[in-house]
Amino acid sequence: MPLTVAVQMDPLENINIAGDSSFALMLSAQERGHRVFHYAPEALNYRDGRVWTLAHPVTVRRETGNHFDFGDPVKLDLGDEADVVLMRQDPPFDLGYITATHLLERIAHKTLVVNDPASVRNAPEKVFVLDYARFMPPTLITRSLEEAKLFLAEHGSIVVKPLHGNGGKAIFKIDSDGANLSSLIEVFNTAYREPHMVQAFLPGVARGDKRIVLVDGEIAGAINRIPGEGEIRSNLAVGGSAVKTELTAREIEICEALGPELRKRGLIFVGIDVIGGEWLTEINVTSPTGIVAIDKFNGTDTAGMIWDAIERRAAERQA
C-alpha cells in the first residue's frame, strides 16, 4: 500500500547524490510508489496536540545538479496525514535536534517515526555504546586533565574527541610524551560543557574503520573505511576511502549482541563502527550513512531492505 512519507532533513540542494543515504532512501520510496515530502527540522510546529510542518512534495532523480523538483508547499499534519516520518537531518546532536525528537514523540503513537525519536534522544552515538563496554577499547569520559594524564600513562597513546561530535571532526591523537594534552583539554573544556571521550589509541585503525549497517537489528552489509595519507581518521567526510570487506567472527558477535535491543528500541537504520575487526567505537542512530557504498561493493539494495522493514512495521500498526 502506498505510504505518505515526510523526510526531515537538511536542504536537498546541498547533498552529494552519489553517496547520500537519505537521497537513496527517497529514491527507493519513490520507486515503490510512496508519496514523498521534504521539510526542514526547524519548520516543525506544535499546537493543541498536533504537530505539523510546511512541507514540499518532492520528486527525486539521479541527475547531478537537477536531482529534485519541489511541488507547492503544503501544511502537512504529521500525526494525521503522514504514515512515516524519516528523521534524517545531520548532527550536531544539539538542543534543536533534541527538541525535534520531543515534538515527533508526540505523534509517534500514530505515525511511524524512523528512527524512533525517544530512542534517538536516549542513544547518543558515544553514550549508548557504553552499554556494550565489553566490546569497546579502554575508554574514559572526563573533563579532568589529571584523569586524562593518568589514562595516557596507562595506555601510551590516546585519542581525544568530543562526546557528541560527528563526521570525524575534532579527533586528536596524543602520543606518550603528552605534548599538547594540557592545551587540548583546555580548549575542549572551553568549547564544550559536557565531558569528553578519551580512548586508548588502536594502531589497527591504519587498516581501516569498518562501518556495519544493521536494518531492524539484522546485518545488511559493511564497508571498510581506510584513513587518508597522514590521517588517523577514516570517515569518508574527512578523506577516508571505502573498500569492500567481510565481517569477522567478533564483528558478527557484536551485531548479534546489539540486534535485539535495536529492534526493541525501534532503531531500524543503524550504523556501527568497529576498528581492527574487534573494537566497537560508536553506534550511529541519528542519521547513519554508508548504504550507497555498501550496495556498490556488494550488489545489494540496502535502501530496499530498510523500506521492507518500514513497510512491515507500518502494516503491523494498521493490523
61 is catalytic: no
C-alpha cell at 74: 503544503
Is residue 211 part of the annotated active site? The answer reads yes
The one catalytic residue among 209, 273, 295, 311: 273
For every residue of 278-294, which 3-state class applies, written as one string? Answer: CEEEEEECCCCCCHHHH
Q: Spot the catalytic one: 115, 233, 295, 311.
A: 233
How far apart CA 250 and CA 265 sit, in angstroms, is 23
d(CA 244, CA 296): 9
Asked if 155 contacts 200 with a C-beta cutoff of 8 angstroms, the reply is yes
**Within 10 A of 302 (CB to CB), how many other CB atoms are there?**
23
Catalytic residue among 121, 210, 211, 265: 211
Catalytic residue chosen out of the listed positions 88, 125, 284, 311: 284
Catalytic residue among 88, 121, 161, 210: 161
How many angstroms separate the CA atoms of 87 and 90, rounded? Answer: 9
Q: Is 57 exposed, middle or buried (0-12, 13-18, 19+ CB in 10 A)?
A: middle
Grid coordinates in use for 39?
A: 521539510
50 annotated active-site:
no
Catalytic residue among 88, 126, 210, 265, which?
Answer: 126
Tell me if residue 284 is catalytic. yes
- Is residue 273 annotated as part of the catalytic site, yes or no? yes
Long-range contacts of 203-209 (CB under 8 A, 24+ apart): 204/275, 204/276, 204/277, 204/279, 205/232, 205/234, 205/275, 205/276, 207/276, 208/234, 208/243, 208/245, 208/275, 209/234, 209/235, 209/240, 209/273, 209/274, 209/275, 209/281
**Is 282 one of the catalytic residues?**
yes
Q: Which residues are catalytic?
A: 126, 161, 211, 225, 233, 273, 282, 284
